[in-house]
Amino acid sequence: MSHPKHTDYNGDKLGMWLFLFTELLLFGGLFILYAVYLARYPKEFSAGGHQLNLVLGTINTVILLTSSLLAAMAVTAVQRGQQRLTMGLLGGTVLCAAGFMLIKYLEWSAKIQHGIFPNSPRLIQGAPGESIFFSLYYLSTGIHGLHVLIGAGLLGWVALKVRSGAIHSHDYVLLENSALYWHLVDLIWIFIFPLYYLML
Amino acid sequence: MPSDTTAGHIASYGKLTAVWLCLLILTGLTVLITRMDLGGYKVVGALTIACTKAGLVIAFFMHMRYEGRLLRGLLFLALITLALYMGLTFVDVLYRGLP
Judging contacts by C-beta atoms under 8 Å, the chain B residues touching residue A199 are: 34, 42-43, 46-47
Q: Which of B26, B31, B38, B90 to mutate against chain A (most A CBs within 10 Å)?
A: B31
- How far apart are alpha carbons A83 and A168 in whole angstroms? 7
Q: Cα angle vertex B60, ends B58, B66, to 5°?
A: 95
Tell me how far CA of residue A83 lies from CA of A169, A187, A189, in angstroms. Answer: 9, 27, 30
| Axis-axis angle for helices B41-56, A173-192 (nearest 10) | 170
What is the ipTM score, two decimals? Answer: 0.93
Residue ranges of domains in chain A, CATH in brackets? 29-198 (1.20.120.80)
Q: Please name the residues between 31 and 60 in chain B that touch chain A, using a CB distance below 8 Å.
A: 31, 34, 42-43, 46-47, 49-50, 53-54, 57-58, 60
A7-55: pLDDT as tens digits? 899 999 999 999 999 999 999 999 999 999 999 999 999 999 999 999 9
User: Hey, are the CB atoms on A69 and B19 less than 8 Å from each other?
Assistant: yes
Residue A71 CA to its chain's centroid (Å): 13
pTM of the predicted model over 0.90: yes
A151-199: pLDDT as tens digits? 999 999 999 999 999 999 999 999 999 999 999 999 999 999 999 999 9
- Which chain B residue lies closest to A194 (C-alpha atoms)? B46
B93 pLDDT above the threshold of 90: no
Tell me how far CA of residue A178 lies from CA of A86, A154, B62, B79, B93, in angstroms. Answer: 13, 7, 11, 22, 38
Dihedral sign from CA coordinates of A97, A64, A129, B92? negative
